[in-house]
Chains A and B, each alone.
Chain A
Amino acid sequence: MKKYVNKMILSMFALVIGAFISTNVFAMTPTWPNDAKFDRGVSNAYYYVDGTATSYTSRINAAVDNWVDTGWGWNPIYLYPVASNYATHIDFYVSNYQQDAVLDNYTLAYAGFWDINSNRLSPAGYGPSVDYFYTEVKMNEIFDIQTSTIIHEMGHCFGLAHSTDHYSIMYPTLEGTYVTTVQKADHDTINYLYN
């Protein structure tokens, strides 16, 4: 009886340790419902910088570089800039936000998702739940948008939802985000989605 109890305790201990290790080694950033992502993959992807956003070109390119080479190993993202937005995956714009509207004054940027028929995607509150053709990043003209914000929005474009982890680039507020680059969990999630 004592042997049996000891075996049980040992097994439960091993289970707990295993769960702890697996949680930390293979941590994932939340994804959209049904792991919705680019329907064309990301290995030969294009991005467009609108005339309204040309002042952010260097920061956008830096954000692209961070996703292509996260520093956490290989991932399938290869992104190239193009002059026309007709076939792109990600389009960057600066949009006209209303200075006297509170929500507009608190928004740095947002991402939108579209299918190939120009239908805007995402059922209320749950993110896109089907794969999408292209995305838009709309940056607020009121603010000086930092590279970390652009990285965050690109994370949405690739299929990452908001994270409750302050040490993820996908935390929902700038004030609450303690990192400025793609983290391992974000990188691992990209590999999970696109491999």
Chain B
Amino acid sequence: MKRKYIIGVGLAMAIIATVSIGIIVNKNNTDLNNITANNDVADENEDGFETYTYITDEMLENSETSTMYPELKSEFTPEIMFNESDAIALVTITTIDGASMEYSAYGMTYGTMVVDNIIYGNIEVNENGLVGFFKPGGLVSVADYDAHDNQAAVEKRDYLREQAGIEIDKENSYMNLKVENDVELEVGKTYLAYLHFRDKYGKYEIVGLRNGLREVNVAQQTRVKTQSLDLNNIQIKNNVTGEWEDLDQYIQENIEVYE
């Protein structure tokens, strides 16, 4: 009798614990799912900056993904990335505001981020505490793509669509441009980023494709607040191997050696 009682209590506690964990995990996932597109600009209050992305499910449904395969003059080694960067920092992405072909032959996604730790160089922070960024590629409208493309190329596409009897709304049809060996950016996530300041636009270009943007092993934020991270206890993701590496070791081997 006593044994059955103990087993019963133990079972009940296990069930309660499982249900509790499920509720907590589900709540966290629900919070992350609330990072969806809206028309509000990032707005800071005491709880941090609200995250935002301009990309909606409808835009993704009306898009074609396209990868560009550049021949580069050289690989983005740590030394080259260091030499091309005005700053190297841990940053958290706050907003992804848009993308356009105006800023690069690849198109550039633009948005804002907060700077958590500066590892090298200096960063100009805006009055509102945010820094503007550019990242190659992005979801651009066909209209924007055509406006910056060679005229003969645009005319050919229009001709082929006409021959096929296809009409498209260029303003609301999209191309999801990606560069070979680049990685995705997500709002609320923290990254080690190599940054080159583009004076003309007052924003920092993230340099080096997958070598210059490495996810940090801290929780994704739903409202972004500046974090002061302990560099000795941080890991960054190697986008080639998928392995996590110690940041302090990376800094010693790939940044401090070039200072």
In-complex Cβ contact of A52 among B69, B150, B176, B198 (8 A): B150
A-B residue pair count with CB separations less than 8 angstroms: 146
Encoded as 1 (CB less than 8 Å from any B CB) or 0, chain A from 85 to 109 comes to 1100001010111101111101111
Indicate if the CB atoms of A126 and B73 lie closer than 8 Å. Answer: no
Indicate if the CB atoms of A126 and B67 lie closer than 8 Å. Answer: yes
B residues less than 8 Å from A119 (CB atoms)? 64
A residues less than 8 Å from B148 (CB atoms)? 96
Q: Does A159 contact B (CB under 8 A)?
A: no
A residues less than 8 Å from B175 (CB atoms)? 120
Indicate if the CB atoms of A110 and B70 lie closer than 8 Å. Answer: yes
Q: Does B75 contact A (CB under 8 A)?
A: yes
A57 → B minimal CB distance (Å): 15
Q: Does A116 contact B (CB under 8 A)?
A: yes
Q: Does A18 contact B (CB under 8 A)?
A: no
Indicate if the CB atoms of B164 and A122 lie closer than 8 Å. Answer: no
Q: Does A174 contact B (CB under 8 A)?
A: yes
Indicate if the CB atoms of A106 and B205 lie closer than 8 Å. Answer: no
Q: Does B76 contact A (CB under 8 A)?
A: yes
In-complex Cβ contact of B71 among A85, A97, A152, A161 (8 A): A152
B interface residue numbers (CB < 8 A to A): 64-76, 84, 103-106, 108, 134, 136, 148-150, 152-153, 156-161, 164, 166, 175-176, 178-181, 196, 198-200, 205, 207, 209
Q: Does A138 contact B (CB under 8 A)?
A: yes
B residues less than 8 Å from A106 (CB atoms)? 70, 72-74, 76
Indicate if the CB atoms of B72 and A102 lie closer than 8 Å. Answer: no
Given contacts A102-B196, A104-B105, A106-B76, contact A112 B68 (CB under 8 A): yes
Encoded as 1 (CB less than 8 Å from any B CB) or 0, chain A from 111 to 131 comes to 111101111111111110000
B residues less than 8 Å from A156 (CB atoms)? 69
Indicate if the CB atoms of A175 and B74 lie closer than 8 Å. Answer: yes
Indicate if the CB atoms of B72 and A85 lie closer than 8 Å. Answer: no
A133 → B minimal CB distance (Å): 8
Encoded as 1 (CB less than 8 Å from any B CB) or 0, chain A from 144 to 164 comes to 000001001100100001100
B residues less than 8 Å from A143 (CB atoms)? 73
